[in-house]
Amino acid sequence: MLEGFATQPADLPVLTAMRRAAVEVVRAYESETTDSDRVRYLRMQDLISASPALMAACVERAAARLDEVARLIGVRMGVDPAVDPRPYLVASVTLCAVPTAVNAWRATGRDMPDSELIGQAFDLLSAGLDHPAGSA
């Protein structure tokens, strides 16, 4: 997803670029060419959603990449994350809030592809947290 985020057009706002990258990656998994790959992906997501320990491990793994994500966000925003805390705020919120929202919605029975749920989570965040891209 980070590679996809880095290659989004420079004029896209931060959360818009993150949303596109995340949705593109998940859609690629959802549309695997073989049924076994697609089923394996879906089963893995179901297993993670049903296990607090696995969900915690996913959050921990995301947190381990916080500096890298904040750096990429800082580049897009045209700010230094060492001076401006917004890249860390956006990175923290998206790394934790998006998977949490998707899992909560799944638990309530929303029967939609993960890519759609991820898009909806980013849409909610964008309504209050989106920041325009910095001028290059």
Q: What angle do CA 65, 78, 121 make, to 5 degrees?
A: 50
Q: What is the pLDDT of residue 16?
A: 92
Please list the alpha-helical segments (H only) found in the chain: 2-6, 14-30, 35-50, 52-64, 66-77, 86-107, 114-129
- pLDDT class of 131 with cuts at 50, 70, 90: low
Q: What mean pLDDT do residues 10-20 have?
A: 92
**Percent of the chain predicted with pLDDT > 90:** 34
- Read off the pLDDT of residues 2-12 as tens digits, 9 standing for 90 and up: 899 999 998 99
Q: What is the pLDDT of residue 83?
A: 96
Q: What is the DSSP letter of 111?
A: -
What tokens does 133 get?
């891209």
Query: pTM, whole model, 2 decimals?
Result: 0.77
- Read off the pLDDT of residues 91-118 as tens digits, 9 standing for 90 and up: 998 888 888 788 888 778 777 888 888 8
What tokens does 30 get?
């959802």
